[in-house]
Chain A
Amino acid sequence: GAVVSQHPSWVICKSGTSVKIECRSLDFQATTMFWYRQFPKQSLMLMATSNEGSKATYEQGVEKDKFLINHASLTLSTLTVTSAHPEDSSFYICSASPLTETSTDTQYFGPGTRLTVL
């Protein structure tokens, strides 16, 4: 089956530093990847849609300068949390849709990355 990986699985950083999270589709190509955020005991909230070779589309209320997204290839999207603050501490999850004729509408989720900002 389609597998999506994320790296790192958890990260602790100091306030003011930047953190990069990678999302990879291991056995398929994905023109579209999605980034979600999940606070404790809450649901996943879509942050942005990442399209290979073009700028990401951010949801209302998500700062594009704060959460930089790069989708440089069909198998890799990165999310960089710039100048992280404690309120950015959360669980970040990515998903990817395979580039196939029959399953372009299926999203496969990564395991998530736990970010803690001290």
Chain B
Amino acid sequence: AQRVTQPEKLLSVFKGAPVELKCNYSYSGSPELFWYVQYSRQRLQLLLRHISRESIKGFTADLNKGETSFHLKKPFAQEEDSAMYYCALRSGGGADGLTFGKGTHLIIQP
């Protein structure tokens, strides 16, 4: 069975400091990994996915198959980054649902 683990329920950093949200996964095949973000009172939205290898809002995430990790990083946190972040895994293509981690609440202090 596949599983996504986000070890930190809450992460608080100061504005301008680096941010790293941890995500580890368990899956026997080749997964697709995603990061979703949910800002206060808004719906869940895609932040980035590993196949795109892109940087969105200054965030990047690299899939490390050896460590089965997909940590989310940003060098300089901004107050508007405060939100709930979910790491998610999909085992197949577009027809498969997502397996989510429990989420990390990121708080950026001024």
Query: Which A residues fall within an 8 A CB radius of B?
Result: 32, 34, 36, 42-46, 49, 51, 59, 93, 95, 97, 104-107, 109-112
Contact = CB atoms under 8 A, between A and B. Distances in A.
Nearest to A44: B100
B31 interface: no
Closest 4 CB pairs of A and B: A46-B97, A104-B94, A105-B94, A109-B44
Contact of A32 (B32, B94, B98): B94
B102 interface: yes
B99 A111 contact: no
SS class, residues of chain A in contact with chain B: strand
A42 B43 CA distance: 16
Interface of B: 32, 36, 43-46, 86, 90, 93-103
A105 B46 CA distance: 11
Nearest to A35: B97
B100 A110 contact: no
Contact of B46 (A32, A42, A104, A106): A106
